[in-house]
Amino acid sequence: MAMVEWTKDGTVAIMTLNNGENRHNPVWCEAVLSTYEEIMADPEICSLVLTSSDPKNFCLGVDIEWLGKRMAEKDWPAIEQWLHLNGKVFRTILMSSIPTVAAVTGHAFGNGAMLAGACDFRFMRADRGYMCLPEIDLGIQFAPSMIEWMKRIMPYHFFLKMQLTGQKVGANELEKYNVIMKACENGEKTVEEAVAFARTFNKPRANMAEMKNRTYKHIIDIMENEDPKYYKYDPELAKKGITPIFMFTR
């Protein structure tokens, strides 16, 4: 089974993450991007559903084992390169010229929550699994653009609560604040509902792309002009308190 694969359901592409906790590292990023390219090469595809084959997890975010090893080796260039690549994944999903729908069938923590947040719409199972931003307890910061695209999917006060407490939030509460379209009965129903919703779309790709270009211009500006300085380890910047987002700050 491939790390990431896709199947076609009429005009809907279903991209499935197959690597257990689906931790983000360079190999995972490349797999997502190459699979997305395959999907977009099919002109019949009008929407994308992103989900996971793991019964417990949608995506648990950063591959801590990979990152820890790079940090121990002080391989800052490799980490910087990965951060740029991971940013490309988020940008690709956010700016897709077809609607993107996350079918959150398990835990979505950290970068996994960010991945779901980068999608246009979200459905989530209610019987198990949480969305959580644990960075506050891990001593990790968000890239500036992450804050902006998460603010677009939930009330700002609710985002602040998630960001500053690190609390786990279930589907029913997320539905209450319109973070997700629907809290579904179980994982199977979550994918079913997401695909049914995705099937309603048949929008021109060019118009969708331009709509997002104008709507998310401020986010792209931040991605291009602010995020990069937080990807690089620079001793002089560190003295000014500007440290890479992966550096522990507690």
The answer to whether the beta carbons of residues 148 and 231 sit under 8 Å apart is: no
247 pLDDT band (50/70/90 cuts)? low
Entry pTM: 0.94
* pLDDT digits 0-9 by tens, 109-121: 999 999 999 999 9
61: closest CA among 124, 27, 15, 110?
A: 110
Give me the count of residues in the chain: 250
| Strand order across the beta sheet in which 131-132 lies | 57-59, 107-109, 131-132
pLDDT of residue 148: 97
pLDDT of residue 250: 45
pLDDT of residue 219: 98
Does the pLDDT value for residue 237 go beyond 70? no
What is the C-alpha to C-alpha distance for residues 175 and 163, in angstroms, rounded to an integer?
Answer: 18
Instruction: Indicate the domain borders of the chain.
Output: 4-198
* pLDDT digits 0-9 by tens, 89-106: 999 999 999 999 999 999
Q: Is residue 136 exposed (0-12), middle (13-18) or buried (19+ Cβ within 10 Å)?
A: middle
pLDDT of residue 242: 61
pLDDT of residue 218: 97
The answer to whether the beta carbons of residues 166 and 134 sit under 8 Å apart is: yes
238 pLDDT band (50/70/90 cuts)? low
Architecture of the domain made up of 4-198: Alpha-Beta Complex (3.90)
Average the pLDDT over 205-232 and give the result: 96
* pLDDT digits 0-9 by tens, 171-216: 999 999 999 999 999 999 999 999 999 999 999 999 999 999 999 9
